[in-house]
C-alpha cells in the first residue's frame, strides 16, 4: 500500500500542485515569470523527491529495488507532462513585441 501511496500518488499530486500553480503564474504574471517559476520549481521538486525517498526508504523501510523505480518513473513521467502543458501556456502568453521578433 505504501508503494502505491508514496511511489505513485505522491509524485503525481506533487507535480499536479506544481502544474496548477505554474499555469496560474504563467497566465496571471506572464510567460517570463512562468518560465522563471518552472526553473525554480526544479529545486522544489528535487527537495520533494529527496523527502519522498527518505520517507519511503528511511522511515517506512520500503525496499529500494521496488520503491525507487516506481517513484522515479512516475515523477519523471508527470514532470514531462507538466513541461508540455506549461510550454503550451507560455506560448499562448507571449507578448506581442516578442512575437514580432521571433524567428519562425
Give me the numbers of helices (H) and strands (E) for the chain, helices first please: 5, 0
The average pLDDT across 22-35 equals 88
Residue 99 lies in a domain: no
Residue 43 lies in a domain: yes
**Residue 32 pLDDT:** 83
Per-residue pLDDT of 47-101, as tens digits, reads 999 999 999 999 999 999 999 999 999 999 998 999 899 989 888 887 777 777 8
> Half-sphere exposure (CA, 13 Å, Cβ side) for 88?
7
**Residue 104 pLDDT:** 66
Residue 89 lies in a domain: yes
Domain count, the chain: 1
Domain that holds residue 23: 2-94
Residue 102 lies in a domain: no
Amino acid at each position: 500500500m505504501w508503494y502505491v501511496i508514496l511511489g505513485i500518488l505522491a509524485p503525481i499530486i506533487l507535480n499536479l500542485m506544481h502544474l496548477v500553480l505554474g499555469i496560474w503564474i504563467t497566465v496571471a504574471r506572464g510567460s517570463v515569470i512562468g518560465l522563471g517559476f518552472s526553473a525554480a520549481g526544479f529545486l522544489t521538486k528535487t527537495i520533494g523527491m529527496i523527502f519522498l525517498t527518505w520517507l519511503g526508504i528511511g522511515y517506512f523501510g520500503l525496499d529500494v529495488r521496488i520503491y525507487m523505480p516506481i517513484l522515479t518513473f512516475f515523477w519523471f513521467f508527470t514532470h514531462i507532462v507538466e513541461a508540455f502543458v506549461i510550454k503550451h501556456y507560455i506560448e499562448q502568453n507571449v507578448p506581442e513585441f516578442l512575437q514580432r521578433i521571433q524567428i519562425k
